[in-house]
Amino acid sequence: MARTVKEDEYIQKRNEILDATRQLIYSKGYEQMTIQDILAELQISKGAFYHYFGSKQAVLEALIERLQEERDQVISPLVQDPQLSAQKKLQGIFEALAQWKTAQKSFLLAIWRALYSDDNALFRQKWHTAAFKQVPPMLATVIRQGIQEGTFTATYPEQSGEVIFALMLTLAETQGSLLLSYVHKADEGLLSHVEQTIAAYTEAIERTLGAARGSFQLVDPQTLREWFTYSGHNV
Amino acid sequence: MARTVKEDEYIQKRNEILDATRQLIYSKGYEQMTIQDILAELQISKGAFYHYFGSKQAVLEALIERLQEERDQVISPLVQDPQLSAQKKLQGIFEALAQWKTAQKSFLLAIWRALYSDDNALFRQKWHTAAFKQVPPMLATVIRQGIQEGTFTATYPEQSGEVIFALMLTLAETQGSLLLSYVHKADEGLLSHVEQTIAAYTEAIERTLGAARGSFQLVDPQTLREWFTYSGHNV
């Protein structure tokens, strides 16, 4: 059944609040941001705000939910593709996530320092907790397929989804904080440190799965170099 | 140069506050405990307390710092022992950390719920950041030794220290949150879930290092059962 005009309006207004909140979290930090800031930004009344969200915490949770949905829409089609081998699915997931991040590169670079600041610790923790509920089961599906296909040998596919995701997440965090410490365009020492870190995590993921060496490329070297070249200008 | 009497007194008084806080966290819980409780316990004035700590959160952070120092004192002698093989050193580290945790089980159980609350997101992030600076270099030393001895085959010993620690930390976090959700003494389903999780992380660590299967026991099954039996009473 088609959505009514009223429903469409409701969703649109709710999304406007989420967009404004996202900007405010990045510019002020979650703890510092007040509902008053959101009202001022959108020029709406307190009553209008509470029509959509019960609390500041509720906006945060909705925002995280929307970001997670975006990410799942990137991963899900790959997991369900009946044509792809498990190895290709997992490689596809690594690439799709990197592309998703690269597509919002200038935005991410602009907000990264805020994301890694003390003020956003709770935001990041909630993001991790939610991600740990959603992503590992999808990875487990792929790992089970790989075991059936004989390319993976992990003994506990269910839990390995969690292990692999822990490695992906820690690598992303490490890259993020290294990116923040990267200020000079010609800092080749740090770039090679990042490359070795990625190589170590790639090896850990391949070995955990029992996949052949060289099965996966977690980060395309050209993309990495680009990220670390641009950051000097923008962060 | 020797410390002055004044310095010694300062350190002693500060430690007294930390000890009392630890006891209070155990008896009341971190959230319930007030600075007033600390003052009453030690029979000191508000001014005396603020001479040593700026806030309740600051005492908790200092307490955790002391815990990190204790942890390093547990790991360090093993890393430096000239008699032990790398495999024995790493197994020793896993056991020593488990024993250290078990020795302060009641304290940890009391503090755990506070640790996993939203209010302590920043604190936990700081704990992780500090631990990530301290532990991986020690692990890297052991991994390099294992490569020389021919029992490990990791390609990037330096970065593997970080990877292994990421796995240890995520496992500890997962166990912690599972422990919090464990309310019924007879919840065997959850216990077996925890056992499989530990087995998966053990496999990941062994494979990442390139160590033989069965090289390591991350958690002794008897200890685990004890933890999950006691938690129902104390948390």
Which pLDDT band holds residue B17 (cuts at 50, 70, 90)? very high
B57 close contact with A: CB closer than 8 A? no
- Check whether residue A210 and residue A130 sit in a common domain: yes
Percent of chain B with pLDDT over 70: 89
Band of pLDDT at residue A113, cut at 50, 70 and 90: low
Any idea how long chain B is? 235
Q: Which helix (H) or strand (E) holds A41?
A: helix A35-42
Instruction: Report pLDDT for A2.
Output: 67
Please say if the pLDDT value at position A1 is more than 70. Answer: no
Least confident of A46-50, B97-101, B119-123: B119-123
What's the rounded mean pLDDT across residues A88-93? 97
Are residues A224 and A141 both part of a single domain?
yes
Paired tokens of A8: 């469409």
CATH (domain of A81): 1.10.357
Last residue of a domain, one of B17, B36, B54: B54
Chain B CB within 8 Å of residue A213 CB: no
Contact A121 B121 (CB under 8 A): yes
Q: Do A159 and B201 touch (CB under 8 A)?
A: yes
Nearest residue on chain A to B119, alpha-carbon basis: A122
Q: Is the pLDDT of residue A229 over 90?
A: no
> Quick count: other Cβ atoms within 10 Å of Cβ A58?
12
Same domain, A70 and A48: no
The CATH number of whichever domain residue B13 belongs to comes to 1.10.10.60
Same domain, B152 and B117: yes
pLDDT of residue A100: 81
Name the minimum distance, in Å, from the CA of B196 to any CA of chain A.
7
Using one digit for the tens of pLDDT, what is the confidence trace for A127-167? 888 898 999 999 999 999 999 999 999 999 999 999 999 99
pLDDT for res A14: 94
Same domain, yes or no, for A137 and A94? yes
Q: Among partner residues B159, B162, B207, which is closest to A207 by beta-carbon distance?
A: B207
Report the residue count for chain A. 235
Q: Is A166 on the interface with B (CB under 8 A)?
A: yes
Q: In the structure, what pLDDT confidence band is assigned to residue A235 with cuts at 50, 70 and 90?
A: very low
Q: How far is CA B233 from CA A10, A56, B68, B174, B179, in A?
A: 47, 35, 27, 20, 12
Q: Do A160 and B124 touch (CB under 8 A)?
A: no
> Is there a single domain that holds both residue A102 and residue A185?
yes
CB contact under 8 A, A162 and B207: no
Final residue of a structural domain among A25, A54, A83? A54
- Among candidates A154, A199, A208 on the partner chain, residue whose Cβ is nearest the Cβ of B208: A208
A70 and A49 together in one domain? no
How confident is the model at residue A77, as a pLDDT?
A: 96
Residue of A174, A199, A207 lying closest to B156 (CB–CB):
A199
Residue B232 has pLDDT above 80, yes or no: no
Q: Indicate the burial class of B57 (C-beta count within 10 angstroms; 0-12, 13-18, 19 or more).
A: middle
Domain membership of residue A59 (yes or no) is: no
Averaged pLDDT for residues A81-108 = 87
Q: Is the pLDDT of residue B182 over 70?
A: no
Judge whether residue B83 has pLDDT over 70. yes
Residues A33-72 pLDDT 10s: 899 999 999 999 999 999 999 998 889 888 888 888 988 9
Contacts of B163 in chain A (CB under 8 A): 167, 170, 200-201, 204
Q: List CB contacts (< 8 A) between B167 and chain A.
A: 163, 166-167
pLDDT in tens, B199-225: 999 999 999 999 999 999 998 888 787
Number of domains in chain A: 2
Beta-carbon separation of A160 and B199 below 8 A: no
Residue carrying structure tokens 């004192």? B73
For the cut 60, the answer to whether the pLDDT of residue B122 exceeds it is: yes
Task: Please list every residue in chain B whose beta carbon sits closer than 8 Å to the beta carbon of residue A208.
Answer: 203-204, 207-208
Using DSSP, state whether B146 is helix, strand or coil: helix
Q: Over chain A, what is the mean pLDDT?
A: 86
**Most A-contacting residue of B208, B209, B213, B219 (CB-CB within 10 A), to test interface:** B208
Residue for token digits 């829409």? Answer: A73
Residue A234 has a pLDDT of 42
pLDDT score recorded for residue B234: 42
CA distance A60 to chain B (A): 13
Nearest-angstrom CA–CA distance, A68 and A169:
14
Residue B204 belongs to domain spanning: 61-234
Out of A78-92, A162-176, B35-49, B147-161, pick the least confident. Answer: A162-176
By the 8 A CB rule, do A184 and B229 touch?
no
- Verify that B180 and B223 share a domain, yes or no: yes
The pLDDT of residue B37 is 96
Are B88 and B171 within one domain?
yes
Residues B79 and B38 in one domain: no
Q: Is A158 on the interface with B (CB under 8 A)?
A: yes
Q: Sign (positive/negative) of CA torsion B27, B31, B32, B36?
A: positive
Instruction: Pick B167's closest partner by Cβ from A118, A125, A163.
Output: A163
Structure tokens at B135: 């532990």
Tokens in use for B100? Answer: 């250290």
Q: Do B203 and A201 touch (CB under 8 A)?
A: no
Q: Of B37, B54, B71, which closes a domain?
A: B54
Residue A128 at interface with chain B, using a CB cutoff of 8 Å? no
Residues of B in contact with A166 (CB under 8 A): 166-167, 170
- Asked if the interface predicted TM-score (ipTM) of this complex is over 0.90, the answer is no
pLDDT of residue A206: 97
Q: Are B136 and B30 found together in one domain? A: no
Q: What value does the mean pLDDT of chain B take?
A: 86
Tens digit of each residue's pLDDT (9 = 90 or more) over A166-216: 999 999 888 877 777 765 555 667 788 889 999 999 999 999 999 999 999
Return the residue of B nearest to A170 by Cα.
Answer: B166
C-alpha distance from B119 to closest chain A C-alpha (Å): 8
For residue B6, what pLDDT band results from cuts at 50, 70 and 90? confident
Q: Is the pLDDT of residue A86 over 80?
A: yes
Residues A45 and A132 in one domain: no
H or E element at residue A3: none
**Is the model more confident about B191 or about A185?**
B191
Q: 3-state secondary structure string, A66-105?
A: HHHHHHHHHHHHHHHCCCCCHHHHHHHHHHHHHHHHHHCH
